[in-house]
Every structure is written in C-alpha cells, then in structure tokens.
C-alpha cells in the first residue's frame, strides 16, 4: 500500500470515529508535504469542513490527534490553514521496507486486461539504421517494457518501408555503379552496402541536374528531368507491374538489408512481436476509401483523386487516393490501423514517430473518427524530438549520418578505455571484460538518450555519456556494482525478516526507504505519460541517494548484528529496485565494474 493510500485509509477511520461520517477513501486528498513544512505527507482538510463543522485548524488538529493516538505509524502532526501535515514513525518506514523487500514483483502493477500495440523503428530499406533510429528504437522498446510493467499486454510491432521510389534509387545505383558488388565481395554489412548505393544515387542525380542547368535548363525543371530520377520512377512502375528482373533485384537487396538490421537490433537488444512490410500493406485502406466515399466522408475531384476535407476542423484537404487509383501513405495507415485493431483486439495503439509527423497523425486520428471507428481516440502518437550532434544535423542522402553500428562500436571503445583507466578489472577474464565493456557502452548510450524527455530535441555527446559520475548510465551501473560488492563481502545471512521494529532507521535510511516507495508510482507515471525519462531520472535519484548514504555509513563495520542485517537487506532491496528500473529501459547492471 502506498503512503497516500495508507493515510487515506486511516484518515477515513478517524473521520468515522470522530464525526460518525463515512467518506470514500479515494476522495481524500493526500500529497507529499512541501519542503517548507514539517512532515512526510499532507492531508487537505478543507473538503471535510462540511462534515466536521469546525474551523480548518480545529479539524486538522482533531484528526491529527486521533491518528497519533490510534495509529502507531503516525508519530507527529501539525495543522496549518487547512493542511494536516503528518509524520511517519520508524514503525511505518520499517513496515514499508519489509513489504517492499518481500515483494518479488515490486514495481509491477496489477493487470489491467488491456492490450496495447506499440509500433516503432519502421525503417526504410535503402540505408542502415542511424542515431535517429536508435532514439526511436530505444523509446519504443522502453515504452513497451513500461506499459507491460503497468499491467498491460503489449504487442511490439514495426512496419518495414520496403517499397517506393527511394528503394528504387538504391537499386538503380547498384546496377549503374557497383559492378555486381555484394556484402560478401565487399566485406560490408548488407544494409551499409545498400546505404552506399543510396548516397551514390544522390551524387549521380546532382551531377545530372548540374549538367542540365549548365545546358540552359531552369534548375526546378532540371530536378524533374534528370535521367536517373526518371529511371527510378520507371523502376517503381515495373515493380508494381511485377517485372521479374526488378522484383528479383528488390528481393536480393532487401534481403541484404534485413540481415543487417537484424544484427543491429540484436546488438541493441531490440525484438518485435509483429513485423509488417509496406510491400504487403500499401494497398490496404482502399476499401476504407470507398466506404468513406459512400458515407460522404470523402469527395472525388474531377481528376478522379479522392480527398477528405478537414477545413472545418481547422486543417486542410487531405489526399487519400490519387487520380490514377494508387495509394498514398495515409491510405496504408488507415488500412493498417483497421486491420491491427480487428486482428489483435487492441484497446489502444501507440506510434513512436518523430515530431515531423505530428500533422500526419492528427489527420489520421481525425479521418478514422469520421469513418466511425470509436477506437480512433485510443491512437497515441509518441512524438519525439530529433537527435543532433555537436557537428549539427544528419542527412542520409549525403552520407552524413551517424551509423548505428559505428556508434555502438564507438561506445564499446569508450567504455573499454574508461574502464581500463580505472584499473579495477585486472582479475576478470578477457571474455568477462569484453561482456562488461559492451554492457557499459550500451548502458551509456541507452541512458543518455532515454533520460531526455521524448518531446525534446537532444544533443548526443558519446564521450559525455560514458562518464562514471553524474547523471549517466555508467554511474548507475557502478552504483549497482558497488552494492553487489558490499553484499559479497558480508559474512552474515540476511533477508526481509531482518526489517524489524527493533532497529530504528537513521534519517538517511528513511530517505532511502521513502525513495524506494516512490517506484510503483513512477512506473505508473511513466506509463501514463509514455516517458521513459521518468524512470531514468528516478533511477539516478536512487543511485545518488545511496552514494550519499554509503559515504556517511560504513555498512560492513556496523557492530550490532541486527543493524547490520537491516542495512544489508535495505541495500539489497535498493539494488533489486535499480535492476528493475533500469531493466525497464533495456539496460543491464553489472555486478562488478
């Protein structure tokens, strides 16, 4: 039971005893006491005056006195202008810690019976994953873990954008410029090779545009008339006509990319329950367009194109079908959403997509609602800001992105360098050190990205993220390793039963117990706001508070056996909570560093 719920329960009993009135416990307003007042939690007494028929302070003092006399967990109270500030006794904090220590699923909230799909990653098969994809994947994966911890059934999905003119550009460049190169012949990962093709196309295209402009053509027209662009569009038409050669090339190059993606996902610890491909879903939604036409939701223009007029909703007209009958992107999204809600019996759907698509998802929800789908209100766009580097923004077509594989390797190298400089790993085997370096490097990368509120644009600095001090993943990992070291050195057995009333916790220990008790509420908050940053910063606060406690409290030098066992179980529970919290972010904590 949370501290808020405990006070609600006991305050309701006090009101019944003092005034003979029954109140709904959940209606009582309880919050953490403000720092300028003495107390742990505060009960708002203003709403109770119609029951007590007393002044605010008289009401507060009456309820406070009853609680202090009848509830051993309440040690003191003070009433200030309608706010009853209550202080918990050591009895309460020990009961609270004992319950947390004995709860193997501490932080896991009760089942809701809700099924939620989280779509993330959704890469194009014309380039490898880069830093921007990493933020998307880490947000999607951690949000999925958090929603599951909130008691939901979660389906992790992705849709691979494996068709379109951008894919054909890479295919065309491979035919023109790469002389039959393969991942095997070049020693490159397949997604990297295809990404090179995409960059090569852009160079070829720009050279053609420059040549046309030099011959006297206007630049805008030259961009349209460049031969390579026309050839790419012709290749897309052939793909849609099932041309055997184009389809064979498409299957081969996409196969290279899928294998490369899988390796990157494995390095990041990312998995999916459902993988869709745009080549299989791009025709979905056409039936919905016909339904919308029949119901008057859409209108057909003289050229045969179909539109949804959203001007009355403060937006504009949205194309949902071209004049030649071909789909546009939102056509697919309409159909995919309908199929997913029907197939998986979803209660809600979260799309993890960058903030440049805010308008798209606003339109998608609105059109689905106009089509009569009640679940349209249960679509959520987790809109996140872009990731930038000290050098500036990234551009895929110019090859100036930070490749995900290169970044993962760079983080590993930074972790190895920093760890070796510490000189504390000499007694580990080579394989143990390698595993630890990867754990630290990946933890640094994930935490540095996840700790930032998703809505904010962020600047990523690899060297800064690997610091073993401050608000970083390695700092929390090192804190966990420090606790494990203490527990290994302990010469006495301990367990939840050692949290007893005979041991009076110090003020610093009470602060740790208070912070531990916030964990379930933080999980709930992170799930409600779809913000893993809530968990990341909670884990940092917990680690920071432990280090202050460790600095002032020589745990293993304690001479009283009961106090020693109490403290060991306290930090054991703290380490377990850190593992749980960081696990929600997909971050592992080592036992040695």
**CA neighbor of 97 nearest in space, from 485, 568, 540:** 568
Q: What is the pLDDT of residue 281?
A: 87
Residue 410 lies in a domain: yes
Neighbours of 17 (CB within 10 A): 12
Report the distance separating Cα 523 and Cα 152, nearest Å.
Answer: 12
Verify that 75 and 168 share a domain, yes or no: no
Residue 261 lies in a domain: yes
Cβ atoms of 264 and 129 within 8 Å: the answer is: yes
- Whether 300 is in a domain gets the answer no
Contact 234, 246 (CB under 8 A): no
**C-beta pairs of 418-427 under 8 Å, 24+ apart in sequence:** 418/466, 418/468, 418/474, 419/593, 422/468, 422/593, 424/593, 425/592, 425/593
User: Of the candidates 42, 72, 88, which is a domain's last residue?
Assistant: 88
Q: Tell me, yes or no, whether 184 and 45 share the same domain.
A: no
Helix 533-552 to helix 561-583 angle (10° resolution) is: 160
pLDDT value for 425: 76
Q: Which helix (H) or strand (E) holds 584?
A: none
Range of the domain at 194: 164-271
Q: pLDDT at position 466, please? A: 75
Does the global pTM surpass 0.95? Answer: no
Last residue of a domain, one of 216, 251, 271: 271
Q: Are residues 421 and 533 in the same domain?
A: yes
User: Which ranges of the chain have pLDDT less than 50?
Assistant: 394-399
What are the distances in angstroms from CA 484 to CA 458, 478, 489? 33, 10, 9
Residues 35 and 169 in one domain: no
- 48 with 195, same domain: the answer is no
Looking at the domain assignment, is residue 146 inside a domain? no
Q: Are strands 83-88 and 74-80 parallel, antiparallel or unpaired?
A: antiparallel
* DSSP codes joined into one string, 304-345: S-EEEE-GGGTS-EEEEE-TTS-B-HHHHHHHHHHHHHHHHT
Residue 38's CATH number? 3.30.1360.70
- Residue 216 parent element (H or E): none
SS3 breakdown of the chain: % helix, strand, coil, rounded to 5? 60, 10, 30
Q: Is 308 among the domain residues? A: no
Tell whether 380 is covered by a domain. no
Integer Cα distance of 298 and 295 in angstroms: 8
Helix pair angle (131-149, 519-529), 10° resolution:
120
Residue 414 sits in the same domain as residue 544: yes
Q: Would residue 285 count as lying in a domain? A: no
Same domain, 75 and 185: no
| Residue whose entry in the numeric block shows the structure tokens 């339109």 | 363
Q: Where are the beta strands (DSSP E) in 98-152?
A: 115-119
- Verify that 448 and 555 share a domain, yes or no: yes
Pairing relationship of beta strands 74-80 and 115-119 according to DSSP bridges? unpaired
DSSP-derived 3-state class of residue 131: helix
Q: Are residues 82 and 169 in the same domain?
A: no
The number of folded domains in the chain is: 3
Query: Measuring CA to CA, how many Å separate 530 from each of 83, 118, 155, 526?
Result: 32, 11, 15, 5
Residue 173 and residue 80 share a domain: no
| Cβ–Cβ under 8 Å, residues 360 and 330 | yes
In a domain, 428, yes or no: yes
* CATH (domain of 421): 1.10.730.10
With beta carbons less than 8 A apart as the criterion, state whether 407 and 377 touch: no
Same domain for 554 and 449? yes
CB 362 within 8 A of CB 310: no
Domain boundary residue, one of 250, 271, 292: 271
Give pLDDT, residue 273: 97
Q: Are residues 77 and 202 in the same domain?
A: no
């Amino acid at each position: 039971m949370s501290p808020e719920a405990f006070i609600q329960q006991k305050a309701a009993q006090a009101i019944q005893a003092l005034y003979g009135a029954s109140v709904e416990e959940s209606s009582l307003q309880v919050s953490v006491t403000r720092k300028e007042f003495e107390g742990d939690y505060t009960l708002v007494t203003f709403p109770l005056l119609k029951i007590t028929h007393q002044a605010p302070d008289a009401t507060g003092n009456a309820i406070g006195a009853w609680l202090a006399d009848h509830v051993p967990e309440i040690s003191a109270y003070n009433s200030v202008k309608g706010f009853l500030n209550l202080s918990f006794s050591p009895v309460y904090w020990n009961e609270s810690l004992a319950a947390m220590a004995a709860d193997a699923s501490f932080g896991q909230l009760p089942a809701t019976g809700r099924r939620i799909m989280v779509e993330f990653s959704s890469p194009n098969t014309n380039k490898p994953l880069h830093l921007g994809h990493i933020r998307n994947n880490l947000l999607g994966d951690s949000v999925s873990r958090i929603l599951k911890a909130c008691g939901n059934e979660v389906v992790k999905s992705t849709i691979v954008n494996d068709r379109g003119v951008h894919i054909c550009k890479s295919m065309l460049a491979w035919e023109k410029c790469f002389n039959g190169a393969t991942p095997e012949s070049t020693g490159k990962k397949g997604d990297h090779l295809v990404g090179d093709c995409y960059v090569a196309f852009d160079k070829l295209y720009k050279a053609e545009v420059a040549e046309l402009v030099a011959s006297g053509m206007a630049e805008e027209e030259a961009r349209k008339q460049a031969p390579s662009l026309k050839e790419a569009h012709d290749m897309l038409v052939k793909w849609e006509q099932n041309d055997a050669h184009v389809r064979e090339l498409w299957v081969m190059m996409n196969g290279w990319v899928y294998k490369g993606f899988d390796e990157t996902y494995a390095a990041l610890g990312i998995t999916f329950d459902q993988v869709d491909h745009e080549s299989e879903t791009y025709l979905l939604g056409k039936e919905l367009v016909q339904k919308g036409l029949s119901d008057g939701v859409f209108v057909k223009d003289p050229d045969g194109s179909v539109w949804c007029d959203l001007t009355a909703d403060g937006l504009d007209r949205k194309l949902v079908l071209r004049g030649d009958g071909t789909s546009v992107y939102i056509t697919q999204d309409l159909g995919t959403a309908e199929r997913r809600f029907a197939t998986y019996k979803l209660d809600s759907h979260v799309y993890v997509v960058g903030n440049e698509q805010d308008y798209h998802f606003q339109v998608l929800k609105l059109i689905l609602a106009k089509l009569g789908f009640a679940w349209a209100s249960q679509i959520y766009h987790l809109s996140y800001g872009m990731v930038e580097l000290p050098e500036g923004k990234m551009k895929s077509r110019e090859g100036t992105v930070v490749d995900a594989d290169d970044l993962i390797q760079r983080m590993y190298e930074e972790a190895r360098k920093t760890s070796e400089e510490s000189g504390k790993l000499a007694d580990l085997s080579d394989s143990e050190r390698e595993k630890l370096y990867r754990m630290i490097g990946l933890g640094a990368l994930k935490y540095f990205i996840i700790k930032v509120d998703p809505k904010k644009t962020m600047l990523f600095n690899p060297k800064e993220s690997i610091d073993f001090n401050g608000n970083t993943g390695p700092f929390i990992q090192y804190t966990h390793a420090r606790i494990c070291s203490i527990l290994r050195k302990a010469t006495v057995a301990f367990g939840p039963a050692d949290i007893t009333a005979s041991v009076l916790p110090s003020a610093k220990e009470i602060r740790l117990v208070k912070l531990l008790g916030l964990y379930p509420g933080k999980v709930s908050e992170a799930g409600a706001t779809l913000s893993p940053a809530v968990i990341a910063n909670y884990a940092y606060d917990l680690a920071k508070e432990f280090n202050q406690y460790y600095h002032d409290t020589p745990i293993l030098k304690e001479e009283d056996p009961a106090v020693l066992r109490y403290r060991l179980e306290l930090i054991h529970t703290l380490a377990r909570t850190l593992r749980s919290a960081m696990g929600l972010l997909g971050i592992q904590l080592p036992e040695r560093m």
